[in-house]
Amino acid sequence: MYKDSRENIHREEQLEYIMLSLLSNKINVLIIGGGEASLIKTKTFLNGGCNVTVVAKEFLEDFKNLQSNRLHIIKGEYDESLLNDCHIVILAIGDSEKINEVKKHCDKRCKIYINCKDYKDGMGAVPINIKSEEAIIGINTLKGNPKALKMMSNDFKDKLKSYDKFIKTTSIIRNNAKKFKDKKKEILNFIVCNDFKDVIEKGMGKTLLKLFYEDELVDELFKD
């Protein structure tokens, strides 16, 4: 008998990602192209704090509205020498021949490149970054679904904000706990839990800790 394989007909290869948190002010991004895809990526990396160079023969008018001392626009042809000072390359062009040329240059120099025309033909994709006052997370879908990703991001943002007070308080305690090496691990195990999160939300974190530790130690832990 033939095996029913209908469930596999529309199955796409699942992508594998690894997320990194980069110190954006140290990251130089080269974007090749001056169209809509380039504009979107330029805004994304500028808003994230990166240093961005964009090269193209022609640019959309909207590029004139971008004002940043971290943005360098070059009106002209791509040249391999532009790769010298960049860490990440964004291919925001449609010319397959030019894309392949730049990819070879990037591979030779071990540069990370993202192909906007076909993300599977690049080395990665730019996730949606969701930021609150105290945390940032990047999310992506494993099968390439940007509209669903956008919808998901709103739910994640609300959830992330709900942790701000907890993260701020426990981060202060964690940094100050370094002074008490013999008790640091015990203190961190005590505070990093949902129960203590609820206590912090009620403004009772310091009071609770004083039931288990000396007043002077707790006062020191809460020094901002």
For the segment 175-186, what is each residue's pLDDT rounded down to a tens digit? 999 999 999 999
CATH placement of domain 24-126? 3.40.50.720
Tokens 């940007």, residue located: 146
Q: Can you state the percent helix, strand and coil of the chain, rounding each to 5?
A: 45, 15, 40
Q: Provide the whole-model pTM.
A: 0.84
- What confidence score (pLDDT) does residue 14 get? 66
DSSP state for residue 90 in the 8-state scheme: E
Residue 202 gets the label, from left (phi > 0), alpha (psi -120 to 50) or beta, of: alpha
- What confidence score (pLDDT) does residue 103 get? 98
Between CA 139 and CA 197 the distance in angstroms is 24
List residues bridging with 161 in a β-sheet.
none
- What confidence score (pLDDT) does residue 13 get? 62
Q: With a cut of 70, list the residues of the chain below it in pLDDT.
A: 1-14
- What confidence score (pLDDT) does residue 17 get? 86
**Where is 206: in which H helix or E strand?**
helix 205-209
* Token pair for 99: 């894309």
Domain boundaries, the chain: 24-126, 164-221
* Token pair for 22: 């980069």
- What confidence score (pLDDT) does residue 190 get? 97
